[in-house]
Amino acid sequence: MTDKKIVSKRVVSPTQKAFNVWGLILIAWAFYRSTYGLGMPVAIDELIIKPLLFVVPVLYYIKHFEHKDLIAGLWLYSKSIWKDIQFGLILSIPLIAFFAYIALFQNKNLSWSQLPIIFIVAFAMSISEEILSRGFVARHIWQETHSVVKTIIQASLLYIFLRIPHIMTMPEIFGQKLIWFFLAELLVAVTATGIYLWRRSLITVIIVRTIYSFILMTMLLQ
């Protein structure tokens, strides 16, 4: 009698597959930032590179591997788009008030003519990062764990890892400012993930992230 070898095929969970996709995106993004990113304008990064590296692979994976509708697959749908927009604006009131204070009382040299361009870049940045970090990664973690705490912790940490190649190649951020910047990014990640799970829609999150990114970029570029 001969022994039969039973070869068991390891089952890879959808979340692990999503992490694999995320890991490849992180490697590509880190390579780009370390090789070409320092010499590229911010607009090129946010309007061209990030959509290509962050959004296209996610949309392709959802469409061809998960066989899902792209809108539903990212939780981009909404029962009430206007309500999600209103929630986003209401949640952004502290950020808007902070920017108004800085613009009117602190920074007298603010270039108002550049603000529309900065806003467009911030909006594009928010779409790309939220599709990957919340619509793709956080959604998979939630669907596997059904735990708000685990989803917020894991998705927020992965978001911070994704931001490292960019932050560490920004010459204007160093020393103590670097620590505060990471803490601010972590707070934003936790808040954005919480909003995403609460609203089950990316729309509110993208609005809040756009206003935050707009204020941050305005302060850094001045």
Claim: this prediction has a pTM higher than 0.85: yes
83-87: long-range pairs with CB below 8 Å, 24+: 84/199, 84/201, 84/203, 84/204, 84/207, 85/203, 85/204, 85/207, 87/199, 87/204
pLDDT of residue 132: 96
Instruction: Give the number of other CB atoms < 10 A from CB of residue 99.
Output: 20
Domain definitions of the chain by residue range: 14-221
Cα–Cα distance, 56 to 29 (Å, whole number)? 13
| Structure confidence by residue, pLDDT tens digits, 57-90 | 999 999 999 988 887 778 776 667 888 899 999 9
pLDDT of residue 77: 67
| Structure confidence by residue, pLDDT tens digits, 172-219 | 778 888 888 899 999 999 999 999 999 888 999 999 999 999 998 888
Across 34-41, average pLDDT: 83
The pLDDT-based confidence of 40 (bands split at 50, 70, 90) is confident
pLDDT of residue 90: 94
